[in-house]
Structure 1
Amino acid sequence: MKSLRGIFLALIALVLLCSAASAEERLKMSTTTSTQDSGLLRVLLPPFEQKYHCKVDVIAVGTGQALKIGEAGDVDVVFVHARKLEDKFVANGFGVNRRDVMYNDFVIIGPKSDPAGIARAKTAAEALTMIAARGATFISRGDKSGTHVKEKELWQAAGIEPKGSWYIEAGQGMGPVITMATERQAYTLTDRGTYNAYKGKKTDLVINFQGEKGLFNAYGVIAVNPKKFPHVKYDLAMKFIDYVTGPEGQKIIAGYKAHGEPVFFIYKK
C-alpha cells in the first residue's frame, strides 16, 4: 500500500511539474535577420529568459516584414532598424514606447580586387555609381528590410535606378545575401555586424567602402500597442524593452564581439 501511495504521489508531482513547464510564458518577437545572423540573440536572450522564466519566440525577417507582423498583432514586440518605418509604425498606432537600443553602420563589401574601384569613392552614392558604370555584379537584399531601405536611399542619392543583369535582387536575409555575393564575387550593402560574423570562414569579401556619416545604422525596440491588440503580452514586452535598454542588456550588447571586433555599439548616457 505504501508503495502504491508513493507511486501516486510521484505521479502527482510529475503532473504538477509538467503543468508548470507548459505554463512557461512566451514572448513573441519579430526582428531583423541581422540581429539573428550576427549571433547577438544567442547571448542576449538567455539571461532574460532565465530571469523572467519565459521563452522568447523569434521571427527573424527583414525590418519591413517584421513591422508588418507587428501591424497584424502577431507578435508582442519588434526589434528593428529603419527609423522612418519605425516612427510610422508608432504614429499609425501599432506600436508604443519605442526606445533606442544600439547602433553600428552599413558598409559596402565586395571582392578584394575591387573591380569597380569603389575604395577611391568619397561617398556611398559615388561608390554605387562606379559599380553601375562598370556593370559589376551587385546583390541587393530586395526584401524591404532596413538594409534594403538604406540601399534604395543610396541609389536615389546617386540618381540611378539599378537594373540590368549586373543587379540581382535576392529577396533574402543578410546572411544568405553575403553567401550569394561571396559565391559570385559581387558587391553588396551589409550591416557591419553580420559581415563581422561572416568574414573569414564564411566569406572572403572585404569592406571596399565605409565610414560615411549617412551609413549610420540604428536599432530600436517597440512594444506592440495593447490598446489596438488586447491579447499581446504588453507587460512582458516592456520587461524585455527595459532589459535590452538597461544596464544588463546594454553590457551584453557592448561586450559581444565577432572575430575579436565589436558588432554593435551602445549609446553613451
Structure 2
Amino acid sequence: MIRLAVLMWLALGGVAFAETMRLAVTTSFHNSGLSDVLLPVIKAEIGLEVQLLVVGTGQALRLGRAGDVDAILVHSKAAEDAFVAEGFAPYRREIMYNDFVLIGPAHDPAQLAQATSARDALKRIAAAKAPFISRGDESGTHKKELVLWDAAALEVSAFDPWYKAVGAGMGASLNTASAMGAYILADRASWLNFGNKTGLALLYAGDPALFNQYAYLPVNAVKHPHVNAAVAQALEAWLVSQNAADLINGYSINGERLFSFNAQN
C-alpha cells in the first residue's frame, strides 16, 4: 500500500520532501560498500536522509520488534518470515541477491577446492579439524552457516577446539580468519570489498544452497504507531525503481558484480 509520501514522490518526479528515517542493515551489506553508493543518490533524488544502524540480522530484527527503526534490510528468509508472521512487518520485499562463499587459507589444508558441494566442503573442514571462524552473532551469515552444518549432518560447538565463534561482524570475522589462517563463510560482496586478503583465498562457491537473498521489511505502524511509515514506503518505492536497479547491478569491484537486483514492482 503506497501512502501519501510515496504518491508525492512519484508526482514530483522523485523529489518529495526532506525527511529522516532509521534503517537497520546487516554488517555484510554495509561492508560491501553499496550503502556508500546508494545513500547519497537517495538523498539527492527523494530528499530522504537514511540513518543506518549497522548490526547483524538478529539484532536488526530485534530493533524492528522494539519499534526502534522504521524498516530493516536483512538476509535470513526464515527469520524474516517469522517477523512478518508475528505482525512486526506487513510483508517482506525482495530487493537483491548475491551468494555466500567459503574462504580459507590459500594452501587449503582441508582441500575445499576439490569439494563437490557446500556440504562436502564443510565435511572436509570438520574431518581435517581445520580452524573455522564463525561469526557467532545471530547474523544472516551465522544463521546460514548453522543451516549448512545441519545439512551436512555435523554438530559443531565452542567445545570443538578448531571451531571459534567470535561474535563479530563480517569484516572483523574475516580479519580474525586472516590472522588465524582459518576457514570462514562470507557473503561474496564483503569478501570482494575486504582489504586484508593476505593468505586467504576464495576456495568454494556455486552451490545453490549458498544463495543469499536480501529483503526489505517496513516496520508495522499498527504495532508501533510512532514509526515513520510514510518515508519507509518512499524508500521502498525507490529501492524497487529502475534507478536503484541500475546502481545495484552496476556496483562492482575489479569488474566483478557484488549484487544482482531482483525486486518485482
TM normalised by structure 2 equals 0.89
Distance in 1 (alpha carbons) for counterparts of 2:230 and 2:18 = 15
Q: Which residue of 2 aligns with 1:101?
A: 95
Please, which of 194, 201, 222 is the counterpart of residue 190 of structure 2? 194
Please say which structure displays the higher CA radius of gyration. 1
CA RMSD in angstroms, aligned pairs only: 1.4
Number of residue-to-residue matches in the alignment:
245
Point out the more displaced range, 92-101 or 105-114. 92-101
Report what 2:66 is aligned to.
72
Aligned residues with identical type, % of pairs: 43
Which residue number in structure 1 is paired with residue 216 of structure 2?
221
1:32-51 equivalences under 5 Å are 32-51=26-45
Task: Please state how far the C-alpha of 1:250 moved relative to its aligned partner.
Answer: 1.3
CA distance, structure 1, for counterparts of residue 217 and residue 90 of structure 2: 6
1:43-192 maps to which residues of 2 (within 5 A)? 43-163=37-157, 164-192=160-188
Letter in 2 for 1:214: A
Cα separation, partners in 2 of 1:268 and 1:102, compared to 1, 3 Å? closer
AA of the residue aligned to 1:112: A
Q: In structure 1, what residue type is equivalent to 2:120?
A: E
The CA deviation at 1:268 is 8.0
Q: TM-score, normalised by structure 1?
A: 0.88
Counterpart of 1:225, as a letter, is N
Q: How far apart are the structure 2 equivalents of 1:128 and 1:97?
A: 34
| Kept in 2: contact 1:99–1:245 (CA 8 A) | no
Tell me, yes or no, if structure 1 residue 207 matches structure 2 residue 202: yes
Instruction: Give the aligned partner of residue 8 of structure 1.
Output: none
Q: Counterparts of 2:35 and 2:143 in 1: how far apart (Å)?
A: 23
Q: Which runs of 5+ in 2 are unaligned?
A: 1-16
Alpha-carbon contact 1:99-1:221 (below 8 Å) kept: yes
**Per-residue deviation, 1:25:** 2.3
What is aligned with 1:247? 242
Please report how far the alpha carbon of residue 52 of structure 1 lies from its aligned counterpart in structure 2 after TM superposition. 2.8
